Amino acid sequence: MKRFFKNILMLIFLFTTIALFSQSAEEKLKKSKENTEKEIAKINKQITENAKAKQSKSTYASLLNSRIEQRKKLIRNTDIQISIAENEIEKKNKQIYEIRHRINQLKESYSELVVNVYTNRKKATWLMYVFASEDFSQAYRRLKYLQSYADVIFVQAKKIEQTNQQLAKEIALLSDKKQELDNYKSERRQEIDNLTKDEEDAKKILKGLKNEEAKLKKQLQRKHNDLAALNKKLEELVKKELAKDKSTGFSKSPENVKLSANFAANRGRLPWPVKQGKVVGFFGNHSVSQHVQLDNKGIDISTVGGEDVLATFDGLVANVFPVAGLNMCVMLKHGEYFTLYSRLGSVSVKQGDVVQTGTVLGKVATRNDDDGSQLNFGLWKKDSPLNPLLWLLKK
């Protein structure tokens, strides 16, 4: 009997542990799904804004590809949820089978106890069993045995009732899990339909871009010239700042050293300069066509015109300046590090201002050209440009 109850307890512990593990995995998947859906919503908003501004097919294609990747991520997430739900259903069916098996065992054991009591139902039989004892001690033990026997019958009946209740609960949970699985499959079918449509649209856009290759080359050449002008201006300003710090001794001051160390310690944890946006232009020298190369000292973030541009770290406004084709630019100084924010339609700070992380520097310019509303964000250590994506928080 002890072994039987021990097995029941072990079974309950095992099922509880599996349920807790599954619940934790499902919570992580649901959180991941929510984040992916938010990303898709942001991209949808950008696509809508771009459509209103009649921007280029290349910008739309970039956003469309980003949405395709997010849809694939959402489908992968749903596939995992479907797999977990199917496993849960299989486990739940096994639990129900085990519980029913235990109920049958309990009922058999209970029947044996009841039959035994019925066979010896006459009170005289029980009294004779007690009075036939050789001494008082044995009589006491036999009396306690009879009392415990009655307790066992009561406990066994209670256990059958509780196990039946557990069975009903597990059957209800199984029904809920099957409905959840149906919902996941329905969501997956819908998302596959969305993905198929996006992929078809992307193919059409690509075909259109090939037909407009001459126009695209001209656009890329203009972008190359804009970036070259920005890079030249940044190099001049950074060298000027470094020379000034060296001449005044500020570069070796405790304040400058501390700020540089604090900035360096936040590599990979800097907040993004805009709350919503997608990277459409990457750091480095890229061959974007047979005849045009882009030397991007930063990254281009496609966003919505009028979006707030935020300081990514505490620092000093070293310069505010215009660049042809790139609107207004703001340079922040963080010790020996610099962050650059270009394509601003308006600026909220001036040279010499001390800013904190999250300070609004200005707003992204609303542009109706081929690139659309984008922020170019750069990061330098002294006179060497760094890849900003390695310093920003992972999305």
Q: Which residue has the higher pLDDT, 318 or 92?
A: 318
Q: Are residues 81 and 36 in the same domain?
A: yes
Average pLDDT rounded to a whole number, residues 151-179: 69
Q: Which residue has the tokens 């990457």?
A: 282
Instruction: Report the DSSP pairing between strands 384-386 and 293-296.
Output: unpaired
Q: Are residues 232 and 325 in the same domain?
A: yes
pLDDT at 233: 84
Instruction: Provide the token pair at 163.
Output: 């196990």
Q: Are residues 201 and 335 in the same domain?
A: no
| pLDDT surpassing 50 at residue 157 | yes
151 falls in which pLDDT band (50, 70, 90)?
A: low
| pLDDT surpassing 90 at residue 273 | yes
**Residue 395 counted as domain residue:** no
The CA-based dihedral angle spanning residues 92, 96, 97, 103, taken in that order and rounded to the nearest 10 degrees: 160
Q: Which residue has the tokens 């066509």?
A: 289
| pLDDT surpassing 80 at residue 252 | yes
Q: Are residues 139 and 261 in the same domain?
A: no
Question: Cα(91)–Cα(160) distance, rounded to whole angstroms?
Answer: 22
Average pLDDT rounded to a whole number, residues 224-234: 79
Give the lowest-confidence range in 97-106, 118-127, 319-328: 118-127
Q: Are residues 286 and 344 in the same domain?
A: yes
What are the tens digits of pLDDT across the range 172-196? 777 777 887 788 888 888 888 888 8
Question: Cα(180)–Cα(182) distance, rounded to whole angstroms?
Answer: 5
Ramachandran angles phi, psi of 354, nearest 5°: -95, 130
Average pLDDT rounded to a whole number, residues 55-66: 71
pLDDT at 222: 74
Q: What percent of the chain has pLDDT over 70?
A: 67
| pLDDT surpassing 60 at residue 258 | yes
Domain total for the chain? 2
In eight-state DSSP terms, residue 394 is: P
Q: Are residues 151 and 230 in the same domain?
A: no
| Beta strand spans in 235-383 (E) | 278-281, 284-287, 293-296, 298-302, 308-310, 315-322, 328-334, 337-347, 354-355, 360-364, 374-381
Cα atoms found within 13 Å of the Cα of residue 111, Cβ hemisphere only: 6
Average pLDDT rounded to a whole number, residues 231-241: 84
Question: Cα(64)–Cα(58) distance, rounded to whole angstroms?
Answer: 10
Q: Which residue has the higher pLDDT, 312 or 198?
A: 312
Q: Are residues 245 and 107 in the same domain?
A: no
Can you give the pTM of this predicted structure?
Answer: 0.49
Q: Are residues 200 and 293 in the same domain?
A: no
**Residue 378 counted as domain residue:** yes
Q: Are residues 139 and 220 in the same domain?
A: no
What burial letters (b/e) apply to 332-365, b meaning 16+ CB within 10 Å? bbbbbbbbbbbbbbebebeeebebeeebebbbbb
- The CATH number assigned to the domain holding 300 equals 2.70.70.10
Give the length of the chain.
Answer: 395
Q: Which residue has the higher pLDDT, 212 or 280?
A: 280
Question: Read out DSSP for 215-253?
Answer: HHHHHHHHHHHHHHHHHHHHHHHHHHHHHHHHHHTGGGS
For residue 269, CA distances in Å to 272, 313, 388, 390 come to: 9, 10, 11, 9
Q: Are residues 220 and 192 in the same domain?
A: no
18 falls in which pLDDT band (50, 70, 90)?
A: very low
Average pLDDT rounded to a whole number, residues 300-308: 90
Q: Which amino acid does the sequence have at 25?
A: A
Instruction: Provide the token pair at 189.
Output: 């079918």
**Residue 237 counted as domain residue:** yes
227 falls in which pLDDT band (50, 70, 90)?
A: confident
Q: Which residues contact 159 (CB under 8 A, 6 or more apart)?
A: 106
Q: Are residues 89 and 28 in the same domain?
A: yes
Question: Cα(147)–Cα(150) distance, rounded to whole angstroms?
Answer: 5
Strand partners, 15: none
154 falls in which pLDDT band (50, 70, 90)?
A: low
115 falls in which pLDDT band (50, 70, 90)?
A: low
What are the tens digits of pLDDT across the range 331-376? 999 999 999 999 999 999 999 999 999 999 999 998 766 667 899 9
**Residue 249 counted as domain residue:** yes
Which of 192, 211, 230 marks a domain boundary?
211
Which of 211, 239, 263 marks a domain boundary?
211
**Residue 236 counted as domain residue:** yes
Give the lowest-confidence range in 5-9, 35-39, 61-65, 315-319: 5-9
pLDDT at 8: 47
Q: Which residue has the higher pLDDT, 122 or 358?
A: 358
**Residue 89 counted as domain residue:** yes
Q: Which residues contact 216 (CB under 8 A, 6 or more apart)?
A: 58, 209, 289
Average pLDDT rounded to a whole number, residues 302-312: 92
Q: Which residue has the higher pLDDT, 289 or 377?
A: 377
Question: Cα(264)–Cα(162) distance, rounded to whole angstroms?
Answer: 61
Which of 185, 211, 237 marks a domain boundary?
211
Across 6-15, 143-152, 201-210, which has the greatest mean pLDDT?
A: 201-210
pLDDT at 390: 92
pLDDT at 329: 93
Question: Cα(64)–Cα(205) distance, rounded to whole angstroms?
Answer: 9
pLDDT at 391: 95
Q: Which residue has the tokens 């340079």?
A: 331
Asked if residues 348 and 342 have their Cβ atoms less than 8 Å apart, the reply is no
Helix (H, G, I), strand (E, B) or coil at 298: strand
pLDDT at 163: 66
| pLDDT surpassing 50 at residue 1 | no
Q: Are residues 124 and 25 in the same domain?
A: yes
**Residue 359 counted as domain residue:** yes
Instruction: Provide the token pair at 150.
Output: 């009655």
Residue 371 domain boundaries = 213-390
309 falls in which pLDDT band (50, 70, 90)?
A: very high
pLDDT at 158: 66
CA distance between the termini of the chain: 57
| pLDDT surpassing 80 at residue 292 | no
**Residue 56 counted as domain residue:** yes
